[in-house]
Structure 1
Amino acid sequence: MTLDPQVEAHLKRLAGTGFADLHKLPPDQVRAGMRRMSNALGKPESVAQVEDRAIQTVTGDCRIRVYRPAPSQVRPIIVFFHGGGFVLGDLDTHDGLARALANATGSVVVSVNYPLAPENKYPAARNAAYAATKWIADHAAEIGGDASRLAVAGDSAGGNLAAVVALMARDAGAPKIVFQLLIYPDLDFRRSNTSIREFAGKWGNISRETQDWFMNHYLNKDEEKLDPLVSPLLAPSLAGLPRTFIITAEYDALRDEGEDYGRRLQGAGVDVVVRRYDGMIHEFLRWPFDGSRQALRDAADALATALGS
């Protein structure tokens, strides 16, 4: 396949921004750049009710944003973790994606503002993500959700956190998660597969130097790259994990690890669907491409099957 024409036009607009060389800048400057880029996404979808809340968990205070497409009804819950390499992103940068997910699925979507690195290194984000998920499950009735129909979801680094939370919940026995939606997830910090090596610095993917910049900000030492709660692809067993839908993109550097994870899940007896979107790139779901709308419809169908409408 070739690049989708909409994607190709998008990449031409991004040319010259220096996106692949983020490693040359301090985190605060890159965060500001991401917020500016998010403003170019256009006006987000309307959702019937959107509420910002501050919650108290065992790891401390945490901000969440609750999206209710049907406030008068008890709906399934999707706990959503935003992408940004564990260094970037917040409730606002991924507001559009969270809104679209809520509307497409008819679920209560709860976006979690987990702590970012390097100010908060591993395992701060992981622990906060799990604690927030547990709080959401315990307080489902307060937000109009059904704790028996609980899913986790995330894009890129958020996909990593969703996968990690599912592993932690399985091992702890709570909360009960029945579905995970992993959107071009970051699952293998060894950075050794074909797509990560061949696509670095191309088609909107970050360079190898920037890959290291993100990892070095997140981790305390290189040995942590082999921790299964950093690299879920290295988990000894994936048995007992919830039904899974994995979205990958043809020209995404993270493509192979998402698809490898799908194969491992299938081998462990997990009900899993992996769908590659041809002509698409990393982060495509945040942009108004035809392929993005199709991926959202597919994810909504998978969620409806797992959670009920």
Structure 2
Amino acid sequence: MPLDPGAQSVLDLIRESGRPALHTLTPEQAREVSAAAVPVLQPDPQDVAEVEDLACPGPARPIGLRRYRGRGTDPAAVLPCLVFIHGGGWVIGSLYTYDQLCRSLANHLGACVISVDYRLSPEHRFPAAVEDCAAALRFIHAEAATLRIDPARIAVGGDSAGGNLSAVMALMGRDGTVPAPGFQLLLYPATDLGGAERASYHRCIDGYPLTAATMRWFVDHYIPDAAERSDWRASPLRAASLAGVAPAFVMTCGHDPLHDEGAAYAHRLAAEGVPVTHLHVANQMHAYLTMGRFIPTSDLTLRQAAAALRAHWGVG
């Protein structure tokens, strides 16, 4: 299917600006480019009822957290909570670059969103990000009363690498390693880093925000040892069983090297008895959720994801 006109406008802007492909940069340069794109590509951040920066103990250092409460929520109310794990290929991304998206989700959910600032690669390689997300999830569950959230209604979710880490948290929750989240919200997730590049890798080879080459660059920084990439904590699609994990919302898009593995994950969840909603946005490209100034569909997708989670929580 042809690319959405708004997405095409973003590609034209990237090309005309001369912005280099991320995989031609150092990680530090890629982070600078990503942060500089925020005011250009993202809408102005929405007002929310409350924002607070926090920290929790981590395996190597304190882990930054940012807590949002949706606009119009009662300050005293105990709210459901989405623990949000940002994307960026385990190399880029931050509380800042995902602030707008988390504010939007908090408002669409009418709930609490807590964003996790996990350690990035290559300074902190696999499984550092997994360990940080696990520590954050344990802390959020243990401190639910202080955070004014309902421990029985905690979900995990994220986009791309964050979707990967969210799927891993759901598996760890099933196995009792972390408090089991009640739902997983996986937005164009990476699910298989084990070297079996699928057909969608070969459809996205040039010009897109995420290409096959860029994805390889991310994975090489995150897990340089190819033998480790089949570990289910890196490649949840390779877990021996997905049965018993939390119900899921999985979103994939057509112009994305990760499409096929995301779709395969949704199909396998369903086949193994996990309730799953799979939304496929055929005319969109990877990373469009953080390009809402040009791509109105980004907010529509966030609303659809929020509606699925609200339905699971039993919130009207």
Measured after TM superposition, the shift of residue 55 of structure 1 is 1.5
Q: SS of the counterpart of 2:180? A: coil
The separation in 1 between residues aligned to 2:277 and 2:89, in whole angstroms, is 24
Match of residue 194, structure 1, among 199, 214, 232: 199
Q: SS of the counterpart of 2:11? A: helix
Counterparts of 1:97-246 in structure 2, within 5 Å, are: 97-172=101-176, 174-189=178-193, 190-208=195-213, 210-246=214-250
Q: Is the 8 A contact 2:173 2:245 kept in 1?
A: no
Q: Is the 8 A contact 2:11 2:207 kept in 1?
A: no
Could you tell which deviates more after superposition, 244-253 or 112-121? Answer: 244-253
Q: Which TM-score applies when normalising by structure 1?
A: 0.95
| Structure 2, gaps ≥5 residues long | none
| Structure 1, gaps ≥5 residues long | none
The separation in 1 between residues aligned to 2:91 and 2:78, in whole angstroms, is 34
Measured after TM superposition, the shift of residue 243 of structure 1 is 0.7
Could you tell which deviates more after superposition, 239-248 or 198-207? Answer: 198-207
2:92 is the alignment partner of 1:91: no
2:295 is the alignment partner of 1:293: no
**Could you tell me which residue of structure 1 aligns to residue 5 of structure 2?**
5
User: Against the structure 1 CA distance between its residues 204 and 141, is the aligned structure 2 distance closer, same or farther, given a 3 Å change threshold?
Assistant: same
Structure 2 counterpart of 1:24, one-letter code: T
Q: SS of the counterpart of 1:233? A: helix
The separation in 2 between residues aligned to 1:3 and 1:198, in whole angstroms, is 13
The separation in 1 between residues aligned to 2:263 and 2:286, in whole angstroms, is 14
Q: 1:279-299 CA deviation, whole Å, 9 max, x = no partner?
A: 111011112223212211211
Could you tell which deviates more after superposition, 258-267 or 195-204? Answer: 195-204
Q: Which TM-score applies when normalising by structure 2?
A: 0.93
Q: Is the 8 A contact 1:249 1:282 kept in 2?
A: yes
Counterparts of 1:227-266 in structure 2, within 5 Å, are: 227-266=231-270
The count of corresponding residues between Structure 1 and Structure 2 is 308
The separation in 1 between residues aligned to 2:152 and 2:127, in whole angstroms, is 27
Measured after TM superposition, the shift of residue 204 of structure 1 is 3.1
Query: Deviation above 4 Å: which 4+ runs of structure 1?
Result: 16-20
Q: Is the 8 A contact 2:245 2:274 kept in 1?
A: yes
Q: SS of the counterpart of 1:73? A: coil
Name the % identity: 40
Measured after TM superposition, the shift of residue 60 of structure 1 is 3.6
Q: SS of the counterpart of 1:172? A: coil
The separation in 2 between residues aligned to 1:13 and 1:213, in whole angstroms, is 23
**Could you tell me which residue of structure 2 aligns to residue 303 of structure 1?**
309
